Structure 1
Amino acid sequence: MSRKVALLKGGVSAEREVSLWSGEACAKALREAGYDVTEIDVSKDIPRLIKQLQDAEPAVVFNALHGRWGEDGCVQGLLELLGLTYTHSGVLSSALAMHKERAKMIVSQVGVRVSESLTIQASALAKGDPLPRPYVIKPLSEGSSVGVHIVFEGDNHIATTRAELGFDGDIMVERYIPGRELTVAVMGGKALAVTELAPKQGFYSYEAKYTDGKTEHIVPAQIPEEVYQEALDAAEKAHQALGCNGVSRSDFRYDDTPKGDGKLYYLETNTQPGMSSLSLVPEQARYLDMSFPELCGWMVEDALQSREES
């Protein structure tokens, strides 16, 4: 079997920088694991991308793209048309998971508790609060906490323009769940661990995610055993319900505040989780004694196996 891997990184989404970090880290790890890696910085030049992929003659395409076009089923569709084997989830599951409202609808049908939310246009925000405060404003189809805003009691101004929001397109408005931020990686259908994300200031924003020292990662999360197990089970159910392949990561809120309901709420599933030095999937793999090169190698071999089985 060929050891050639074409690694897609960069892209044109708001998460380009994150993708470059992930791609560089994964390329290094794959080389350490013995693979022959061709790195491709993806642009909007599709004919060029097709030629680069054909010239690389990969056994597997390692998709390290994040955000729109790379994570929403678009590049997956292109790879399908080219007949190339690729890592992570397929066209349909990528598209479903990227659309936060549809993902929550599907995951709720398998018995996972989701937070109350609705989809609106930005102009609707100027007409008044769409939900009782506090609530969260986020793009319907972005990741990495891009464009996330929390509206609290007493806030006098709500972002309504593209410049203020930091994104365009449809908006998800979601009831703010106080308490703890939890995340669970799923690998080959099996949940790895539960990590608590404890920002040292504010909430788990884009800056808090990707600036070293801004957020404490607590793995395993120090929460009641029954809640820990519920998070593991819910992440596996989400992975299966959305039809994910390879590795995914699901995010939750756990309301353990004094006046809270003590319940766990599903927020979303990432089919292309970050794979940089600060990322959560490699961290949970290390917790289970799997090195980063071993993790990346597993993803390549899993993609090959999935293609053979299909």
Structure 2
Amino acid sequence: MIAVLMGGYSAERDISLLSGNAVYESLVKSNIKCFKFDLNKDNITDLWCEKIDKAFIVLHGRGGEDGFIQSELKKRNIPFTGSDEKASNLCMNKAATKEMWNKYDLPLSPSIVAKKGDELNPIYFSLPWAIKPTLEGSSIGISKVSDKKNLEQALENAWQYNDEALIEKWIEGDEYTVSILNNKTLPSIKISSDHDIYDYHSKYFSEKTEYLCPSDLSNAQEKKIQMIALKAFNVMGASGWGRVDFILDSKKNPYLLEINTVPGMTSHSLVPMAAKASNISFEQLILKILNG
């Protein structure tokens, strides 16, 4: 029996419910015995009363993507999809991720960490800046700062989600993403949004956001970002499936943004789109993740 774990209690709960239902319906179509479980802070003990052969984790954000549920499943010897608890926890933290990537000389924009209540270190790189919470996904809490006077408000916005924020050099360019499935890369996707930031609304609800897959990159450029994505994924200890996001500047120089160990699986989601470009149907994709 497969438990499809969805919902959760992070800021990405609504998207997790959409993703989880899509996964559940796909498993049913494939005649896989499964049930869906809407996890919250009060009902996790109910989960352990169920017979579970494997958990399909579709919990986005904290509680699902940060190693918590992976650790709880591991304690009970229940196999699960995706990365283990250690990799999940590391990948969830944008600052820790950048620190790890930096050790492997992967391409990054300069950044510093701003902790709530601590004195801010000097920002050694020029405006504009991207301000983002270190522990949220789906571009929640992100601001673009083009004038120093707006920095404090942007930090307050990010600190609503956790006490640590990343101040990053804003790279002007196009966003691309590379999905990874069982240690292989899928075709990259170029994302064109009508917003300055590819934000929560653009990702999940806007009909004006455009996706190009396969993207507009040359074969050499495509191979380059796929190679970087796979290395970025592997050095974090991630496994199974995931997504690595980039900004490419006007000269097509890539800069790593973040890694997602439980990406969205909605109608607007990018992993299914990349799989489709590789002639992998949604049902096949779900089975590959389940059996990976």
Cα-Cα RMSD:
2.1
Which of 79, 103, 106 is 1:85 aligned to?
79
Q: Distance in 2 between matches of 1:217 and 1:164?
A: 27
Is 1:274 paired with 2:264?
yes
Q: Which range moves more in the overlay, 229-238 or 151-160?
A: 151-160
Q: Does 2:28 align with 1:31?
A: yes
Task: Say whether the 8 Å CA contact 1:179–1:254 is kept in structure 2.
Answer: yes
Q: 1:50 aligns with which of 37, 45, 50?
A: 45
Q: Following the alignment from structure 1 to structure 2, what is the Cα–Cα distance between the partners of residues 148 and 193?
A: 27
Letter in 2 for 1:74: F
The equivalent of 2:235 in structure 1 is 241
1:193 maps to 187
1:110 maps to 104
Structure 1: which 5+ runs fail to align? 303-310
* Residue pairs, 1:132-211, within 5 angstroms: 132-153=126-147, 156=150, 158-159=152-153, 162=156, 166-211=160-205
Query: Which deviations, in whole Å up to 9, do the C-alpha atoms of 1:95-128 show, x marking residues without a partner?
Result: 1111112212222333421111111124569998
2:282 aligned partner? 292
Segments of structure 2 that go 5 or more residues without pairing to the other structure are none
| SS of equivalent residue, structure 1 residue 193 | coil
Is the 8 Å Cα contact of residues 3 and 55 (structure 2) preserved in structure 1?
A: yes
CA distance in 2, matches of 1:38, 1:79: 16
- Indicate if the aligned counterparts of 2:7 and 2:20 stay in contact, CA closer than 8 A: yes
Amino acid at match of 2:253: K
1:221-273 deviations in whole A, cap 9, x for unaligned? 112332221110011101111111111100001001xxxx5411111110011
TM superposition shift of 1:167:
2.2
Q: Residues 156 and 89 (structure 1 numbering): CA distance in 2 closer, same or farther, change over 3 Å? A: closer
Aligned mate of 2:221, from 224, 227, 236: 227
Structure 2 distance, partners of 1:172, 1:242, is 19
Could you say if the C-alpha distance between residues 237 and 161 of structure 1 is closer, same or farther in structure 2, counting changes exceeding 3 Å?
closer
Quick one: which of 265, 273, 283 aligns to 1:283?
273
Identity percentage of aligned residues: 31
Q: Which residue identity lines up with residue 141 of structure 2 in the other structure?
A: G
Q: TM-score scaled by structure 1?
A: 0.88
CA distance in structure 1 between the partners assigned to 2:158 and 2:247 by the alignment: 26
Could you tell which deviates more after superposition, 226-235 or 102-111? 102-111
Distance 2:76 2:133 in 1: 31
Contact 2:135 2:161 in 1 (8 A): no
SS of 2:74's partner is helix
* Structure 1 contact 107–237 (Cα < 8 Å) conserved: no
Q: How many residues align?
A: 292
Find the aligned partners of 1:184 and 1:150 in 2 and give their Cα distance: 24
Instruction: Evaluate the alpha carbon distance shift between residue 112 and residue 176 of structure 1 in structure 2; reply closer, same or farther with a 3 A threshold.
Output: same
After superposition, the C-alpha distances for 1:132-183 in whole angstroms (9 at most, x for unaligned) are: 2101000011111010101114875741565676523200111101111010
